[in-house]
Amino acid sequence: DTAVSQTPKYLVTQMGNDKSIKCEQNLGHDTMYWYKQDSKKFLKIMFSYNNKELIINETVPNRFSPKSPDKAHLNLHINSLELGDSAVYFCASSKTGAEQYFGPGTRLTVT
């Protein structure tokens, strides 16, 4: 069974559209994260979230918003997509805040 899963794996859309990426973890972890990996492979934290607190990286535009329907899911909503949003987005989860387990990624292409 996949520990951290994301859908879709590929997402191609036009500028100005709104899209969502779903993430689910079956590890029973309390904290989930979203990371962005750019074309140069640089990984950067976007959000961390547990049932008590959402921590937003200050550089993330407010067009990005995480939504957690329950402890096992943390979805990423993106409004008014821009060309610069093209990247691979990874969801991760952790029980302790230390060992983080990553999903397979969603490659977003904005045309």
Partner 1 sequence: GENVEQHPSTLSVQEGDSAVIKCTYSDSASNYFPWYKQELGKGPQLIIDIRSNVGEKKDQRIAVTLNKTAKHFSLHITETQPEDSAVYFCAASNVWGYGGSQGNLIFGKGTKLSVKP
Residues that bind partner 1 (CB under 8 A): 4, 31, 33, 35, 40-45, 48, 55, 57, 90, 94, 96-105
CA separation, residue 59 to residues 39, 51, 85, 101 (Å): 18, 23, 13, 23
- Give min distance, CB of 69 to partner 1, in A: 22
In the complex, minimum distance from the CB of residue 80 to partner 1, in angstroms, rounded to a whole number: 26
Q: In what order do the strands lie in the sheet with 4-7?
A: 4-7, 19-25, 73-78, 64-70
Residue number with CB closer to partner 1 (14 or 40): 40
Whose structure tokens read 């899209």?
19
CB nearer to partner 1: give 82 or 86: 86
Nearer to partner 1, 72 or 105 (CB): 105
Q: How far is the CB of 41 from partner 1 (least distance, A)?
A: 5
Going by C-beta distance under 8 Å and a sequence separation of 6 or more, which residues neighbour residue 24? Answer: 4, 5, 6, 72, 73
